[in-house]
Amino acid sequence: MKALFRILMVCGAIALIGFMFFNTPQENEPLEGPNTNSNIIPQTQLKQQSAVGAMTRPQTGISTLVGKGIQTVLEQYGEPTRKEPSSFGYQWWVYNKDVATFFMIGVENNIVTQVYIAGQEIDAFPFKVGQKRDEIYRMTIIDYEVAATVGENIFIFSMSEEDMQTRLLVKFDGLYAQLYIDRETSELQGIRYTDSETLVLHQPYEMSYQGELVRRTPPSSFLQQEIDVASAKQLDDLLNVTRVHHELPPLAMDESLEEAAKMHSEDMKVQNFLSHESPTNGDLKKRLQAHDIDYSAANENLATAYFDAIEAMHGWTNSPEHRKVLLDDRYTRVGSGAFVDYYTQIYIEPTAQTMDSEEQDRKKQDIEEQDNEEQRNKEPDSEDPVENTEQSSSS
């Protein structure tokens, strides 16, 4: 009996240790964007380089919207799902009804300044989402340095070796294309067409310039709050576009996770740290416990120094550790949070108990809705208030 008791005690200890280990959220290193080390260098002799060759501007496809008024957008694509502010003065129009046709349009003063395409069925001529990098190199003029002009000011963007593999910049006549390439598959993930002034405002690469530097006006604190909410929604959208492209199911947005992610992004910015462990709120496990979030598995991706959600998501996708997390088929829920240029995305697999409880709540809600509908059907028809108003007016 004593031997059996010892065996049971050992098995129990092993089970407890296993539960504690597997129920502990996994963590990877936070990601710092290329803008962390980007230099802005004033120069005095750049005029000779301003005529660097450009490709003929596309005459078809969604890139033709850049420089046109919003009426053209509305006629071709209708109203967007959302209209959201950005840190650069323009407004994002988000079209996310279907992953296959996902795109976003930047609008400032009723003029299109940029278009971002991630849907494979959108006409992004001369490029196409899913296109191989080798094919892009064969059909495109690629240079380490790309020149842009804003008025009489000249700007030269210099690409690193990493940029040449995953974040190409292509110059057309009066238009620029940033090509976001998946390092692992060598396929084109997304395309951003932009005008020269927006490109200079973003400063996505190391930049030298001659003349006056184009600067953005910092948003007010109130507007920044709206921008942070918009960035979080865009991270959710972009995550699911990426997952579906890799034949994985999309994740459901969870409001509690969104709040936890938002709080951590703000915490990192305010307290000036970049880590999964907060000096005041603890690691991911403690932060999820504080929000009463139960899970079987959990993880999060962190990033900073990216100028928007698009760049942050492509950064995660091209980082092996972060890519593994966002493409993990165990997770079914996500919450994203942004605070200025700090980004957090939390992924969980809920516990079976959580799923059962939510299923019961849904059934209860369905029954209540059916009862309400039956009650409404039993009530006698009321007179039309509009008709009564008209009769009263006529009398």
Q: Are 347 and 334 in contact (CB under 8 A)?
A: yes
Q: What is the pLDDT of residue 10?
A: 45
In a domain, 183, yes or no: yes
Stretch 3-26: mean pLDDT, rounded?
Answer: 49
How much of the chain exceeds pLDDT 70, in percent? Answer: 80
273 and 184 in a single domain? The answer is no
In a domain, 138, yes or no: yes
* Average pLDDT for the chain: 87
189 and 225 in a single domain? The answer is no
In a domain, 10, yes or no: no
Is the pLDDT score of 359 beyond 70? no
Residue, of 15 and 247, whose pLDDT is higher: 247
Is the pLDDT score of 20 beyond 80? no
Reading the block at residue 332, the tokens are 């079914």
Residues 6+ positions from 286 with CB-CB distance below 8 Å? none
Identify the H or E element spanning 113: strand 111-117
Q: What is the pLDDT of residue 106?
A: 98
136 and 179 in a single domain? The answer is yes
Q: What's the number of domains the chain is made of?
A: 2
Cβ–Cβ contacts within 10 Å for residue 259, how many?
14
User: With bands split at pLDDT 50, 70 and 90, how would you rate the model's confidence at 43?
Assistant: confident
205 and 313 in a single domain? The answer is no
197 and 57 in a single domain? The answer is yes
In a domain, 363, yes or no: no
Stretch 9-29: mean pLDDT, rounded?
Answer: 53
**Of 75, 110, 78, whose CA–CA distance to 94 is shortest?**
78
User: With bands split at pLDDT 50, 70 and 90, how would you rate the model's confidence at 382?
Assistant: very low
Cβ–Cβ contacts within 10 Å for residue 59, how many?
8
138 and 269 in a single domain? The answer is no
pLDDT in tens, 99-144: 999 999 999 999 999 999 999 999 999 999 999 999 999 999 899 9
In a domain, 288, yes or no: yes
156 and 269 in a single domain? The answer is no
205 and 69 in a single domain? The answer is yes
Q: What is the pLDDT of residue 364?
A: 57
In a domain, 35, yes or no: no
Is the pLDDT score of 14 beyond 90? no
Give the span between the Cα atoms of 203 and 169, in whole angstroms. 12
Q: Are 251 and 243 in contact (CB under 8 A)?
A: yes
Q: What is the pLDDT of residue 395?
A: 32
Is the pLDDT score of 47 beyond 90? no
Q: What is the pLDDT of residue 24?
A: 62
Cβ–Cβ contacts within 10 Å for residue 230, how many?
22
Q: What is the pLDDT of residue 34?
A: 81
Q: What is the pLDDT of residue 38?
A: 65
CATH number, residue 238: 3.40.33.10
Is the pLDDT score of 18 beyond 80? no
Stretch 227-241: mean pLDDT, rounded?
Answer: 98
178 and 80 in a single domain? The answer is yes
Domain boundary among 183, 210, 237: 210
Q: Are 88 and 341 in contact (CB under 8 A)?
A: no
131 and 192 in a single domain? The answer is yes
Q: Which domain holds residue 262?
A: 221-352
In a domain, 235, yes or no: yes
In a domain, 265, yes or no: yes
327 and 288 in a single domain? The answer is yes
Q: What is the pLDDT of residue 256?
A: 97
190 and 284 in a single domain? The answer is no
Q: Which of 16-30, 72-86, 177-191 has the lowest mean pLDDT?
A: 16-30
pLDDT in tens, 141-185: 899 999 999 999 999 999 999 999 999 999 999 999 999 999 999
